[in-house]
Amino acid sequence: MEQRLPITKIGIIEDKQKCPPDYDVLFYSSDRNEECDLMPDGFFKKSKRHLCITKQQAGFGQMNMVLADIAVQNDRERPPNGYSIIEYTMDTKEKATKKKQICVKVIPREATSAAICDICLLTKSKRAPVGYTLAGEINNVAICFKICELPPIQVTQTQSPTLPASLPTTNVKEELPMRQNDLQQASSSTAVYHPLSGVQFVLNAAFSSPLGLKSVYPPDIQSRTLVDINNEYQYPFAAERTALQI
């Protein structure tokens, strides 16, 4: 499998001149070199919708996410588990699509060894090119994506700071007796009581004999991989990201 950098974010814009920084607009189709408008024409207004993607990595202290899957479905269907809908445009905050909706799945970079690295749009052929998967069709534009193997994660090692050659030293033996005397005087003049002083800790009678342990069963703990945990508890933060963009 080919190794390439993964797509980290995907969105829809109305005006290609207002594309966010570090994003690339998927404006032309790969088979006909035609404009790929995802919005059908209206009666009074012609609105355009174009996909845009980026491979920009997250900043320091933020989790790196990658695009794992894309699905196109009817706008009345519920998105699959773990997927989020591209609901609004990134530049005008208007409804992104009509009649169809684009659902995407993003997962942590550390949880996978492969992700989507390329997206191509087709306006003539409805069959995905070799090595690509057809996600679906919207406004006569077929959306196809390619899965690539991700490069190994580079782990940076931080070096410990070097100490100066000469450091100011103090005579510890001379200061230590003085501090011990101060502590002895302080302890003799101040009484310290623990909040649990006088509380007796006694084992429950139900567990003091082997007969009482017959009704105690250890919990059945099933081992899970990192992928299983992410699939069950993955939260895409789509509503939060949308609120930040408003």
pLDDT for res 176 = 47
pLDDT for res 207 = 65
Domain annotation for the chain: domains and CATH numbers: 9-153+227-240 (2.100.10.50)
pLDDT for res 116 = 96
- The H or E element containing residue 228 is helix 226-233
Token couple for 103: 């659902």
pTM over 0.85, yes/no = no
CA nearest neighbour of 11 among 38, 35, 33, 30 = 38
Q: What does each C-alpha distance from 50 to 15, 38, 92, 99, 209 come to in angstroms?
A: 8, 6, 12, 16, 72
pLDDT for res 214 = 61
CB-based burial label for 231 (10 Å; 0-12, 13-18, 19+): middle
pLDDT for res 172 = 47
pLDDT for res 224 = 73
pLDDT for res 217 = 66
Q: Output the tens digit of pLDDT for each of the chain's 246 residues.
A: 556 899 999 999 999 999 999 999 999 999 999 999 999 876 666 789 999 999 998 877 788 999 999 999 999 999 999 999 999 999 999 999 999 999 999 999 999 999 999 999 999 998 999 999 999 999 999 999 999 999 887 765 555 556 555 555 555 445 445 555 554 554 555 555 566 666 777 777 666 666 555 666 667 777 777 777 777 777 777 777 777 776
